[in-house]
Structure 1
Amino acid sequence: MQLIETGAGPVRKLGRIAAGLSMLSANLLGASAALAQDSGEDEPQVVVHDLMKEPAPGPNTYVYDSSILFYKESGSRVQAVEPVFNVQNYLANGSIISGNFTFDTLTGATPNGATPSTSDQTFNSIVREKTTSTQVTSTGASGGGTVTTIPGTAYAKSSYTVPARTLPLASFHDHRFAGNGGLSWLANPDTRLNVGLGASVERDYTSFTANFGIARDLNQKNTTLSLSVNLEEDISRPYNGTPSPFQELNSQIGGGNDTKATYGVLAGVSQTLARFWITQVNFNLSGSKGYQADPYRIVSVVDPVSGAPLDYLFESRPRSRTRESVYWGNKLALGPTVADVSVRYYHDTWGINSLTAEVSEQIPLGGSLYIKPLYRYYHQTAANFFTYYLVNGNALPAYASSDSRLSRFNANTIGGKIGVRVFKTGEFYVEGESYRQTGAHTVANAPGQLSGLDLFSGVHAISVMTGLRLRM
Structure 2
Amino acid sequence: MLFIGILGANGQIKLNKTVADSSNYQSRSLKIDEINLVSAYYKQNGNNSAVTGGIGTEKLSDFANTLDLQLSKLNKAGNKNTFLFEIGIDHYTSASSDKIDPSTISSASMSDTRIYPSLNWTQSNEKTGNSFGFTGFFSTEYDYQSLGAGFNLSRLSKNKNTQFDFKLSAFLDTWKVILPIELRSPANSGQLSKSEGSSPRNSFSAAFSLSQVINPKLQALIMIEPAYQKGLLDTKYQRVYFTDGSLKAENLPDQRYKLPIAARINYFATDRVILRTYYRFFMDNWGIRAHTAEIEVPVKLTSFISISPFYRYNHQTGAHYFAAYGEHAPTSQYYTSDYDLSTLNSDFYGAGIRITPPNGVFGWQHLNMLELRYGHYSRSTNLMSDIISLNLKIK
**What TM-score do you get using the length of structure 2 for normalisation?**
0.79
Q: Which has the higher mean CA deviation after the structures are superposed, 217-226 or 344-353? A: 217-226
Q: What residue number does 2:336 align with?
A: 401
In structure 2, do the counterparts of structure 1 residues 366 and 294 end up closer, same or farther at CA, with 3 Å as the change threshold? same
Measured after TM superposition, the shift of residue 374 of structure 1 is 0.8
Q: Measure the CA separation in 1 of the matches of 2:124 and 2:312.
A: 35
Distance 1:436 1:111, change over 3 A: farther
- Partner SS for 2:80: coil
Are residue 431 (structure 1) and residue 373 (structure 2) matched?
yes
Hey, what does 1:272 align to over in structure 2? 213
CA distance in 1, matches of 2:157, 2:346: 38
* Aligned residues of 1:125 and 1:251 also touching (Cα < 8 A): no
- In the superposition, relative to structure 1, how do residues 363 and 312 fare at CA in structure 2: closer, same or farther (>3 Å)? same
How far is the alpha carbon of 1:124 from its aligned partner?
8.5
Aligned to 1:176: 114
Give the distance between the partners of 2:199 and 2:167, measured in 1 at CA: 27
Q: Deviations over 1:238-294 (max 9, x none)?
A: 3x4x68xxx963654673100011111111111110011111101111101100011
Q: Choose from 141, 165, 168 the match for 1:202.
A: 141
1:90, 1:462 → 2: CA distance? 37
Counterpart for residue 387 of structure 2 = 463
**In the TM superposition, what are the counterparts of 1:318-397 in structure 2 within 5 Å?**
318-335=253-270, 336-390=272-326, 394-397=329-332
Deviation at 1:138, TM superposition (A): 3.1
Aligned to 1:102: 88
Q: CA separation of 1:391/1:65 partners in 2, compared to 1, >3 Å: closer, same or farther? A: closer
Deviations 1:333-372 (A, max 9, x none): 1212222111000100010011111110111111221111
Deviation at 1:88, TM superposition (A): 1.1
Name the residue aligned to 1:451.
none
Quote the residue 1:237 is aligned against: 176
2:72 to 72, 90, 114: 90
Partner of 2:40: 69
Q: How many Å apart are 1:139 and its aligned residue?
A: 2.5
Residue 296 of structure 1 aligns with which residue?
237
Q: Are the counterparts in 1 of residues 153 and 166 from structure 2 also a CA contact under 8 Å?
A: yes
Give RMSD over aligned pairs: 2.5
Q: What letter matches 2:255 in structure 1?
A: S
Identity %, equivalent residues:
21
- Match of residue 249, structure 1, among 183, 186, 189: 183
Match of 1:313 in 2: 248
Does 2:221 align with 1:287?
Answer: no
What SS is found at the alignment partner of 2:242? strand
CA separation in 1, counterparts of 2:258 and 2:223? 14
Q: Distance in 1 between matches of 2:117 and 2:298?
A: 30
Q: How many residues align?
A: 335
Taking structure 1 as reference, are residues 395 and 429 closer, same or farther at Cα in structure 2, changes over 3 Å only?
A: closer
Distance 1:424 1:330, change over 3 A: farther
CA contact (8 A) 1:228 1:267 kept: yes
DSSP 3-state at the match of 2:183: coil
State the 1:391 CA deviation.
5.5
> Residue 398 of structure 1: SS of its match in structure 2?
coil
Give the aligned residue type for 1:101.
I
Is the Cα–Cα contact under 8 Å of residues 296 and 311 in structure 2 kept in the other structure?
yes
Q: Which runs of 5+ in 1 are unaligned?
A: 1-58, 113-122, 127-134, 142-171, 304-309, 440-457
- Cα distance in structure 2, aligned partners of 1:104 and 1:340: 30
Tell me by how many angstroms 1:100 deviates: 1.1
Give the distance between the partners of 1:248 and 1:464, measured in 2 at CA: 38
Contact 1:68 1:81 in 2 (8 A): yes
Instruction: Choose 69-78 or 319-328, whichever is displaced more.
Output: 69-78
Change (3 A) 1:191 1:230: same
Partner of 2:51: none
Amino acid at match of 1:463: I
- Paired AA for residue 151 in structure 2: F
Of structures 1 and 2, the one scoring higher in RCO (CA 8 A, sep 6+) is 1
**Structure 2 stretches lacking a partner, 5+ long:** 1-29, 47-56, 187-192
Q: How far is 1:325 from its partner? A: 1.2
Aligned-partner Cα distance in 1 for 2:64–2:351: 19
Aligned partners of 1:110 and 1:343: how far apart in 2? 33
- Where in structure 2 are the equivalents of 1:51-200 lying within 5 Å? 60-74=31-45, 77-92=59-74, 93-110=79-96, 137-141=105-109, 172-186=110-124, 189-200=128-139
Partners of 1:67 and 1:256 in 2: CA distance:
35
Say if 2:233 and 2:253, in contact at 8 Å, map to a contact too.
Answer: yes
- In the other structure, the counterpart of 1:220 is 159
Partner of 1:39: none
1:132-167, CA deviations, whole angstroms, 9 ceiling, x for partnerless residues? xxx8623233xxxxxxxxxxxxxxxxxxxxxxxxxx
Partners of 2:265 and 2:277 within 8 A in 1: yes
CA shift for structure 1 position 86: 1.3
